[in-house]
Structure 1
């Protein structure tokens, strides 16, 4: 018998703090490699940038993998759930418009981890942007088009 998803449990005890750095991971439903399509990945990039430009977050690093997103940012004044919900909703509308369909593609929920003050945020950023290397998608990070970091 298949297990019931437990993504709703991720919300239990969640607390967010403005100004704190968070590492977010969110996944495409059934791990479909939607962002293997560079054009669709660039549309998600535009939504990340829009969220940053509105001041909802200060993006520090991100990488869009074929079937998920890792995003490191400092949270602005809006609640974390609102920022992620807004980004996922807007990206769904934009990407579906480009695909000519109407369907949900993000898995519900997301994983978040507050970064502790004593942690090296640049080390975390390097770990994030090295994901395509570890996954064997490229031999050099400069060859992967869907990542960025504030320290470049």
Structure 2
């Protein structure tokens, strides 16, 4: 049985290392599809970019799905939990304002996986950018507006 997203056991062994590449996934509260509207999704993307501009992480690839995101990043300054918390909280404030709502936007916690080999990096990048196709949202990657990859 899968662990709840906020389970403390998800954090056991979590280690942040500068220069390490991580695949991070976070889900909206109750899987609400806040990002069906691409304008709302761009508000989250702005915070991925802001984290990069502030030197916290180097974004390698990302996709914003209707109810979650995947973000492949190389960690720079902050530790991983602080980085994800900062991005999610800043984005929640902007998104709630944009949607004229208040309350919880994200499920607590996040899932991360350290990428250790070059072939794992390419596999993770492909997984991220093809997520909208697997979800049946589009038939071609370029038809989906909420993704980017450093290699493309």
Q: TM-score, normalised by structure 1?
A: 0.93
Distance in 1 (alpha carbons) for counterparts of 2:4 and 2:115: 29
Mapped contact 1:7–1:110 kept (Cα < 8 A): no
Which residue is equivalent to 1:40?
40
Instruction: State the secondary structure of the residue aligned to 1:119.
Output: helix
95-104 vs 138-147, which deviates more?
95-104
Gaps of 5+ in 2: none
120-129 vs 17-26, which deviates more?
120-129
Give yes or no for the alignment of 1:16 onto 2:36.
no
- Counting matched residue pairs gives 150
Which residue is equivalent to 1:146?
146
Which residue is equivalent to 1:90?
90
Mapped contact 1:61–1:148 kept (Cα < 8 A): yes
Q: Report the Cα offset of residue 95 of structure 1.
A: 0.5
Q: TM-score, normalised by structure 2?
A: 0.93
**Cα offsets for 1:73-111 (capped at 9, x unmatched):** 000121100000000000001101111222111000000
Which residue is equivalent to 1:126?
126
